[in-house]
Amino acid sequence: MACDCSTCNTLKKRKLIQLPDHSGKSSLILQLCQLGLAAVDRYFFNFSTRPSNFAMSPTGVYRDWLMTGRAYSTQKPPELHDHDDSAMFPAILWAFSFETNCQLLVSDSEEGQSYQFQWRPDNAESVAGRFLVLAYLWARPTNGKLIDLGNRDAEQRRRLENLPTLDETELMRRLVQVQLSGFRFLYNVEWEPARSGRTGKAELAFVSRTGVFAVVVVEQSDSSAGETAESRRRERRRELEQRARKLRENFVGQHLEAAAIVAFTCTCTDGAKLKVTPVGANDRVVACVVEKVEQKIDGGQWSRAAATATGGQMSNRNALPAVPAVLIASALVYGYLVRK
């Protein structure tokens, strides 16, 4: 007779928050979210790993169940005997696919099983929103410390104000003043002056409360007229985009806790309006989702639900990443945040 204990029954749940606690649960969910947010414009991502990488047992009895593709159907997983913890890994994958509205495909290879999460192109923004909210709910500090974004922001603003008044530094100040939508905290300021003139190498990094970084390469544009000047500007824009992509790659290696990292270029010609442009389609979609989710947080529903569920004990909302103490409280408003 199948085991009917509370643990085995919980493993049948479709929501991640309902699954049993496990030391590797949060890191597995966060990694899935990171892969998804980096591939929103491709409409799928592949995930190949072994359960042991997350301190989980081999999939065991769940292998055949996942291989048949039932993880995306309404069928229940098989009954488990003797508190079989081999279900933990596939149960998380199944619940993740259900909560993010993705189709889960499983295949065998010499290296082990490979998992592919797919979503419809017309559903990309909604799926990205689900990835982002889950990443926020399940993020854990990688070094055991929280980054106080308020203090970090104030420190970087002071650094920016102390820079000399030159073309690019003025553009950086203007961008910080108007803010990058959804990314309210200034995280880093980099300025490398040229050997001569009023120009230099200017880079900014912002971060949202949901743990998404935005890196921006800033440059004053040439205002000269003529075809030759326009050709130079096009070439320069391509170079700026390459710089922004490289900066994003550097941040990926330095900030493993980030839900996602998006890249922008910021240019201006002779005091005109700032032109802030995402370097790719994925950057654009993720940045749009960040702005919408931040607006939901500002609306107060997140804070009120969290305060109610925690008996009024609120975490520092300016901390990165999310504090584990508000995990369950935040989950209460998950449905509200992802409906758009």
CA distance 3 to 81: 5
CA distance 182 to 44: 25
Residue type, 141: P
Q: Residue ranges of the domains in the chain?
A: 6-119, 147-294, 300-338
Tokens 């996942």 -> residue: 66
- The neighbouring-strand residues paired with 76 are none
Question: In sequence order, what are the residues at sequence separation of 6 or more whose Cβ sits closer than 8 angstroms to the Cβ of residue 218?
Answer: 168, 171, 172, 175, 202, 203, 204, 265, 266, 267
Q: Quick one: pLDDT at residue 66?
A: 56
Is pLDDT at 258 greater than 60 in this prediction? yes
Mean pLDDT of 284-291: 95
Q: Quick one: pLDDT at residue 22?
A: 86
Is pLDDT at 329 greater than 60 in this prediction? no
Least confident of 2-6, 192-196, 261-265: 2-6
Angstrom CA distances, 309 to 16, 221, 305, 325, 331, stand at 18, 51, 6, 11, 10
What is the gyration radius of the CA atoms in the chain, in angstroms?
Answer: 23
Mean pLDDT of 34-56: 92
**By C-alpha distance, which of 48, 51, 56 is closest to 23?**
56
Higher pLDDT, 311 or 101: 101
Percent of the chain with pLDDT over 90: 38
Is pLDDT at 24 greater than 70 in this prediction? yes
Angle, vertex CA 169, rays to CA 167 and CA 173, nearest 5: 120
Using pLDDT thresholds of 50, 70 and 90, give the confidence band for residue 265. very high
Q: Quick one: pLDDT at residue 333?
A: 37
Answer whether 287's CB lies under 8 Å from 265's CB.
no
Q: Quick one: pLDDT at residue 106?
A: 83
pTM of this prediction exceeds 0.75:
yes
What the block records as the tokens of 16 is: 């991640």
